[in-house]
Structure 1
């Protein structure tokens, strides 16, 4: 495993374990709208290293293990970190923008950062095949990417499950934009896929305020 990916995974595990057993620590560093508005901006980053339970932690770290090594080997450690933390921050900022009027809204998890890494890997290798259990049928990465964006928009609008869809979506947007910025040549990998994703993201950014989130 790439060393920088391993370090990020270890950091997530250690911080999450601390949060599992220390409620005060968990509450101090989770994403929480009211506290962020009060000036605790660091929560936008620290919340990305906390998880609600072992399943939540394990799922995110497994995805990071699978896709992180692809991005790190393609870009190098410094650029990997820029994409990881950039996606984490963009995910938090987007989530904040969507829930800014909900004082008690809170969230934790590396999902925004991991979504950015997953999207970066898909843009680098759009024809990679992914299997989404429980359906054992491989699908191309670019199909998964487009479907993920659309589902996240639907999930955010309809508040599907106890999931921070806005952070997932913001992180995916971060991974998409940062990868294109750092390596514009990837557009030639699958131009149609890049344009479709770009159109969905542009529509969300320009017209997303018209989405009426269900309470």
Structure 2
């Protein structure tokens, strides 16, 4: 099972490195609103294997490494891959919806997938320490900040908040479906964590 994870890790590092030195390859497979509108759907997943820099790549892969084992050992490699790859796609789809009127919007990185894995772990174990604080509290702060930044964009902010949110939500949904009894036990924590998402839904529906 771990072997498949390391294959995914090596593939992401290798493709990202190739993209660092090949601008045409990078631009061909990064997420872009206009390209996806034109039917180039491969970008919904391929962009998750590209990164802007070594720092970007290393941060995502280290984060993925530290959280992957809880999902793999609790629910298996299939659920892990479903959450990770599905969160990349759903994160980009959510970005596509949010920025559908901005044809030049582009994004790259595995952050949506990593967010999906992290929040799936939090759903399983809300008191799991993330950045030295309980996971449910980290998730509440993270969702609140991401929702605020997505709804109130600022010049120079290159973080894909919509992709992070879409990926995280997908990770939570998969845990709700695959391990409902575990989620029920932690309903209070997850309910608190979901308050910023409820606000986001209200704001989006009110537009």
Tell me, yes or no, if the aligned pair for 1:126 and 1:189 is still in contact at 8 Å: no
* Cα distance in structure 1, aligned partners of 2:61 and 2:161: 18
Measured in 1, the distance between the counterparts of 2:2 and 2:196 equals: 32
* Rounded Cα–Cα distance in structure 1 between residues aligned with 2:31 and 2:60: 17
> 1:125 touches 1:189 (CA, 8 Å); kept in 2?
no
| Matched positions, count | 205
Please give the secondary structure, in 2, of the residue aligned with 1:144. Answer: helix
1:151 matches 2:161: no
TM-score (norm 2): 0.93
The residue that corresponds to 2:111 in the other structure is 111
Deviation of residue 199 (structure 1)? 4.3
1:12-23 aligned within 5 A? 12-23=12-23
Output the CA distance in 2 between the equivalents of 1:197 and 1:85: 23
- Report Cα offsets for 1:115-160 as digits up to 9, x if no partner: 00000011111111222xxxxxx21111001111111101212225
Tell me how far apart the structure 2 counterparts of residues 84 and 77 of structure 1 sit (CA, whole Å): 10
Which stretches in structure 1 are left out of the alignment for 5+ residues?
A: 132-137
Aligned positions of 1:46-65 closer than 5 A = 46-65=46-65
Q: What's 1:80 paired with?
A: 80
Matched residue, 1:168: 164
3-state SS, counterpart of residue 133 of structure 2? strand
2:36 aligned residue: 36
Q: Matches of 2:80 and 2:54 in 1, distance apart? A: 25
**Matched residue SS, 1:172:** helix
Distance 2:190 2:128 in 1: 15
- Runs of 5+ unmatched residues, structure 2: none
